Structure 1
């Protein structure tokens, strides 16, 4: 004969308390005296009682889930940020639900519905600028919404974790200038994109600003914009490196694109960094493996801080939106060196 399952009523009866008190103790509420809570927890262990997740959600009035809306999940930047989010949630009661966005339609659907539904207790929006028309509803949402790596003015009054892509571009330029480079190219994302991404644009702006202060301008033929990807970056770099006059250094808007530039250099017989210096951006795991000089934007830490802000906002909404700022850092490895004599 099958053994009857233990219920919360059995726990309450054995502990000599009401079902409501047993429920409050299991949910960690402070209204239960410590000695009573200890007795209830001891009875739970003795009877082998495990609270039902569904019942716990119902009693707390929460879903105990956190949603993350992230653009292009398979990109290494997204994966590293999600590792930071998961590191925080792993020590909490909350489950993580990921919504991958690779189209404007998906973005508009998730941002337009998730913050207004009862499917999650809080929402992280990662590297995905919201359209202007979605911002009022997001700011009035009953659940907290926290942005990570979103740098549009639309989210200025909302909780967020931000970097500084302009500063990152300046760091890359300063490093190349200090090595003696003056013939510098850039490979980044397409200028126009349906999502309104700003990172590549801002990194290029930082590069150009710092070079201008040193009296250096990038010729138009040494600027390549295209779809974000290693092979696209390889093709853009190949065009620059096979011209009659080629740059001695190339800064890219991401490490993925930097790997494409390195591949192009090798295909035409150039040695990195002897013939060409390359600087990436992000500091993904592969960057360390190939010895890539890059600008680190603290991907893991941005995810971790975003998750911490969100959990805090779920407990109690702040009067002022919390903002965490992370400064980029230059990481010098093996793909940059002074230009060959006479080629600066």
Structure 2
């Protein structure tokens, strides 16, 4: 099956199906994380993000269920954040070296990279990771047992309104985050923009059969923005570690080049992200999702009529 809502089927059943599939895949990756934490934790967190985006999309249809389950999977993701972040920071050093080959050719990033690799190995090899994985597995298994409690409106008009409202809220979050990132440029502002962009990209996948316009190009642009915002986030995290009082990344001499390259990278990434986000989220969220609501109502109603007209319907 796919991460896409089929308008020919009742909304409740489709959301239950997709949620069960995503959490089931997260459990598979959690099981693999004992032996291959670098890849498996990243894949697991992606499945959890998919599940949470789905819950945000249909939240207005069953507020209590969606809020509770979203909080559950947010806590699961938090259990796994440290080990995953450790890997991402090593990858960030490698990206800096590739982006600025002349400056880093003399090995000016080597000491920091060694420190981050040691930190990564410590987090991946400790008993804490096994405990986190065990707790995450238990939480996901409990989550799967609760899926049948979800109850959404299945009538075409009400179902369309639920989907349009979820999409609109995320677009509004993205627009608000873009305005703040443009005016203030803080790490939290760009992080909020990243979360909203990622969620919107997942909503495009979920609503692929209902979105009122071709989405292939938009989805590609949203994915690229999400990746660039992710790189910027990792730069912010490294900057925070660099400025920490206990200097976990090394002495000023060891981190001089890193500090210089992080500033250059941050400036470039911010500019790229703001331009791309302005293209994607410059329109009114209400206007965009009004079209979605109309098309969804028409498509869902047509599917319902086809079912009623079918033999045995």
- What TM-score results when the alignment is normalised by the length of structure 2? 0.28
Report which of the two structures shows the higher radius of gyration computed on alpha carbons: 1
User: Normalized per residue, which structure has more strand?
Assistant: 1
Higher helix fraction: Structure 1 or Structure 2?
2
